Amino acid sequence: MTTTTSNADQDQSRCEAADVGPAAASPPREDHWDQEDGTGLYGPRGWTVRAGVWRELARCRDELRSTVIPAEFGHNPRGLITEEGAPQEDYTPYHDLGPGVARRLLNILPPAQLDDRQNLAPTLGALLHACAGAEGRVRLSGYAIGPQRPDERITVEGLWIEDRDLLTVEISDVHDEFCGCLVLWDTVRSRYELNAEAMPDEIRTVRRHWSHGPLGTWLWWD
């Protein structure tokens, strides 16, 4: 199903803190999604809540998209998850999802959801397997759609990779004939067995937490 839309040891992510629970938040709005008739993309409305998806994503809060950017426009934090493990809003971004969460999602997500992909990106299952098997060097970012909408799901848009050899490949902003993006993508696709239908829309070098953390390679699909 296609959907549209270091110092590493001192820089541990929430995603790696397996004993950390969801961030506290006020009760969700009265959306009554649990009383909706019909079935969503991958199960009855609310299947992500019942499966525990949101408790896992609460470990991977995207501070940039959830707090920093809304604050710049005078808005309160977005994408909060309640103590009961339910999203307050229909769209919740996440960032820096690590191997522990990836393994748990592989165990609780339905097979059809694992076959989902962000447009021409690799399937969710392929990305979660790459993350789970990379000992923390591969981190995932994306968003999840809550039971407030019938297309309830989790989607990966991009991955960050801490492989030193990738940083030696010269990447230009214009991706012309002198850019090494094709070589880099072929390396990543083969190394992590990614089944994308096209190369990423964006390839660049960024820090793990955008403004801080170790340098790595960022690949993102629109």
| Low-confidence stretches of the chain (pLDDT beneath 50) | 4-31
95 in any annotated domain: yes
Which pTM value belongs to this model? 0.83
23 in any annotated domain: yes
192 in any annotated domain: no
132 in any annotated domain: yes
163 in any annotated domain: no
The domain in which residue 40 lies consists of 2-157
> Are the C-beta atoms of residues 161 and 138 closer than 8 Å to each other?
yes
183 in any annotated domain: no
Total tally of structural domains belonging to the chain: 1
197 in any annotated domain: no
pLDDT of residue 158: 98
> Are the C-beta atoms of residues 197 and 120 closer than 8 Å to each other?
yes
31 in any annotated domain: yes
- In 3-state terms the chain splits into helix, strand, coil percentages (rounded to 5) of 30, 20, 45
pLDDT of residue 38: 61
pLDDT of residue 37: 56
